[in-house]
Amino acid sequence: MKKIKTFHIITRLDKGGSADSTLLTTLLLDHNKYEVFLAHGLTLESDMSSEESNAVEQSLDLARSKGVKLLTIPSLVRRISIINDIRALYNIYRILKRIRPHIVHTHTSKAGALGRLAAYLARTPIIVHTPHGHVFNDYYGPFMTMLFVLAERNLSFVTDKIIAITEQEREEHLAVGVSSKEKYAIIHSGVALDWLMNASFEIDSGKRKFGIPQDCNVVGVVGRLVPIKGHKYLVTAAKKIIEKSRNTVFVFVGDGHLQSELEEQAESIGIRNNIIFTGWRKNVPEIICLFDMLVLPSLNEGMGRVLIEGMALGKPIVASNVGGIINIVKNGENGILLPPKDPNALEDAILQLINNRDLAEKMGKKGRAMVLPEFSSSFMAKRTDDLYQSLLNNKRAVESKTQNIK
């Protein structure tokens, strides 16, 4: 049987949520049914650590071994660059004309814009886009945001389906006039839960590795150290938390250009010794297991895949009530939701869980029970396959009807 050619496009492959989700999708699609291509830009643009870069290369080697055909497009960069963008558009168009895929599936905003336009010009039968969040809030000023909204509105006309990773992401797109509700499908960004929920981690030795006393309260946050993740508000909250609960340690997992600034902030308020910066880590689940709670103080978030990992490991959540987080964290059930940019609210929520272990344990168990099956990577792949088949069947039906009319 002739395979269905699916062509995925993303600007960069790092170990962030959107890249991981994209790579998992290409790996888990049925390769007996699909011939899978994945085009990406240079990962150098991510300014990754050597450890993260090595992890990406291992993931790419795995993809190749599974039959994913990888293509690098150097001009496909995440930042706005008119010359590179024109080159990328032309290069993608030329590749699509040569390969002639049945489905082009773009991921993230920049690849979504160039990839969908190239696919339209190349007359690709089916075009699918997954934004993996959006850049409508807290990324750019009003003018640039307006341009992005206008671009998304116009590109939606050449898109057969837009995959939102949460219901809230869909609603936020609809709120700014990006297409109609019928254009959207909801497919959560999946996590390898089968492995995660059955893994065994050594907590005592893990704490010793990071110099964490065994009797400390451990408050953890995972994410790149960039402004949109809201770390500075957690540092501010940490001072008052430590004053009230001195045996509390904060663990910041991730790297980014704000690390030195956050370290200086912690030093200036006298709590530097209570905050551990681990840098980028490959073994994030092993570190999450050391936490008493997982905190995500983001200003904007498509979904927050790390929340699923934390829930799968039985950790209560403290998170901002923004973006797709509100579809993951049910306030008072598996965690506590609070306004973004609010250190006082962070302080109250974290202290509530520190001082009420029974509540924290109850929320952790509730979260663990919520993740299966819809947040698993296998379920994500199945939903994607179902969507592809539906679109292909609809396309065939329309073509057949048109030929009968003629």
Q: What is the pLDDT of residue 142?
A: 77
- pLDDT category at 44 given cuts 50, 70, 90 is low
Distance (Å, whole) CA 23 – CA 38: 8
Distance (Å, whole) CA 311 – CA 288: 10
pLDDT over 70 at 114, yes or no: yes
- pLDDT category at 302 given cuts 50, 70, 90 is confident
pLDDT over 80 at 402, yes or no: no
Domain 193-370 has CATH 3.90.230.10: no
Q: What is the pLDDT of residue 9?
A: 97
Q: Do 4-190+376-405 and 193-370 fold alike per CATH? A: yes
Q: What is the pLDDT of residue 46?
A: 58
Q: Which residue type occupies 38? A: L
Q: What is the pLDDT of residue 254?
A: 94
Q: What percentage of the chain reaches a pLDDT higher than 70?
A: 95
* Residue-wise pLDDT tens digits, 177-224: 999 999 999 999 999 998 899 888 999 999 999 999 999 999 999 999
For the chain, the farthest-separated pair of C-alpha atoms sits apart, in whole angstroms, at 79
- pLDDT category at 247 given cuts 50, 70, 90 is very high
Q: What is the pLDDT of residue 285?
A: 94
Q: What is the pLDDT of residue 133?
A: 77
pTM: 0.91
pLDDT over 60 at 235, yes or no: yes
Which residues have C-beta within 8 Å of that of residue 17, sequence separation ≥ 6?
132, 189, 302, 303, 304, 305, 306
Q: What is the pLDDT of residue 147?
A: 84
78 vs 179: which has the higher pLDDT: 179
Q: What is the mean pLDDT of residues 280-301?
A: 95
Which residues have C-beta within 8 Å of that of residue 7, sequence separation ≥ 6?
37, 39, 96, 99, 101, 103, 104, 105, 119, 124
Q: What is the mean pLDDT of residues 80-103?
A: 95
8 vs 302: which has the higher pLDDT: 8
Q: What is the pLDDT of residue 14?
A: 81
pLDDT over 90 at 312, yes or no: yes
Q: What is the pLDDT of residue 185?
A: 97
* Residue-wise pLDDT tens digits, 132-143: 977 666 556 778
Q: What is the pLDDT of residue 357?
A: 96
Looking at the DSSP bridge assignments, the partners of residue 296 are 319
Average of per-residue pLDDT values in the chain: 92
Q: How far is CA 405 from the centre of its chain?
A: 45
- Give yes or no for a contact between 40 and 73, defined as CB atoms under 8 angstroms apart: yes
- pLDDT category at 353 given cuts 50, 70, 90 is very high
Q: What is the pLDDT of residue 55?
A: 86
Domains of the chain, residue spans: 4-190+376-405, 193-370
Q: What is the pLDDT of residue 138?
A: 54
**Region of poorest pLDDT, from 59-68, 127-136, 168-177, 339-348:** 127-136
Fold of 4-190+376-405: Rossmann fold (3.40.50)
